[in-house]
Amino acid sequence: MESKKVISDWFYQYSNDIFHFFIYRMGTLDVEDLVQEVFIKAIKGIDSFKGTSSPKTWLYSIARNVTVDELRKKKRNKWKEFLSLNDKHESATKETPETILQLNEENKRLFQAIQSLHETYRDILIIRGIKGLTTEEAAEILKWSKKKVHTTYHRAKIALQKELREIDDEL
Q: Which residues contact 138 (CB under 8 A, 6 or more apart)?
A: 124, 127, 128, 144, 149, 153
> For the chain, where do the domains classified as CATH 1.10.10.10 start and end?
103-171
pLDDT of res. 140: 93
Rounded Cα distance between 167 and 110, Å, is: 9
pLDDT tens by residue, 72-130? 887 666 545 543 433 343 444 455 656 555 556 667 778 888 889 999 999 999 999 88
CA 127/CA 92 separation, integer angstroms: 19
CATH number, domain 1-95: 1.10.1740
Q: Are 111 and 30 in contact (CB under 8 A)?
A: no
Query: Would the pLDDT of 46 be above 70?
Result: yes
Domain 103-171 class? mainly alpha
Report pTM.
0.63
Side chain identity at 92, as an amino acid letter?
A
Rounded to a whole number of angstroms, the CA Rg of the chain reads 17
